[in-house]
Amino acid sequence: MPDSDQNPVTGGRPTTLVVCIGNDLVADDAIGYDIYETLKTRPLPGHVRLEYAAVGGLSLLDRFTGDEDSLIVVDAVAFGAEPGTVHCLAWDEIPRFSRSSISVHDVGLKDTIAIGRALYPEKIPPKIRLVGIEGRCFNRMREFMTPETAAALKPAVECVLDMIIQET
């Protein structure tokens, strides 16, 4: 008889949802889209579901099926570090600001997950992490992406892949 804590979809392996958030038309916000496009070319383990979301906020809740054991959110952030800094954070390390803490969208990641846990506790993955890429320019077109943010593509992809490996 299978262990009741095992995920029936993956035969016991944790299921990981990776959601890359970012508007591919807006300067530093496009880094999430670029990371998604890069991850699409990589052979990911069968227990990983990769998705792209042009915007985050409450629409993130629609992506959960209840089968996920882990969530990795990839997004441009403005935490005040140098542009291009890659933040690989566990849930309790993600800062909460008085306004949207993860993105320029109306509701930040922390608030979105809190709302999801209140409304759909059975659907919210127990393990949530963030790969946040520090940006500076969020009000101009893509060609104005900060060079340091663009250069963070490879280290951010490696951070995501390391998090995935930790799940296996």
Q: How far apart are CA 152 and CA 85, in angstroms?
A: 7
What does the pLDDT look like over 48-101, one tens digit per residue?
A: 999 999 988 888 999 999 999 999 999 999 999 999 999 999 999 998 754 444
pTM for the full model?
A: 0.86
The partner residues of 21 in beta bridges, in order of sequence, read 53
C-alpha distances in angstroms, 111 versus 88, 115, 132, 141?
A: 19, 6, 16, 28
In this prediction, residue 19 carries a pLDDT of: 97
DSSP letters for 51-120 = EEES--GGGGGGG--S--SEEEEEEEE-SSS-TTPEEEEEGGGS---SS-SSSSSSS-HHHHHHHHHHH-
What does the pLDDT look like over 7-55, one tens digit per residue?
A: 444 455 569 999 999 999 999 999 999 999 999 999 999 999 999 999 8
What band does 106 get if pLDDT is binned at 50, 70 and 90? low
In this prediction, residue 3 carries a pLDDT of: 39
- Judged against a pLDDT cut of 50, whether residue 102 lies above it is answered with no
In this prediction, residue 56 carries a pLDDT of: 82
Q: Of 50, 134, 64, 59, which is closest to residue 95 (Cα–Cα)?
A: 134
In this prediction, residue 2 carries a pLDDT of: 36
9 three-state secondary structure: coil
C-alpha distances in angstroms, 7 versus 4, 15, 16, 125, 158?
A: 8, 7, 11, 12, 26
Q: How far is CA 133 from the centre of its chain?
A: 10
Q: How far apart are CA 68 and CA 53, in angstroms?
A: 17
pLDDT, average across residues 102-131: 85
In this prediction, residue 109 carries a pLDDT of: 87
What band does 104 get if pLDDT is binned at 50, 70 and 90? very low
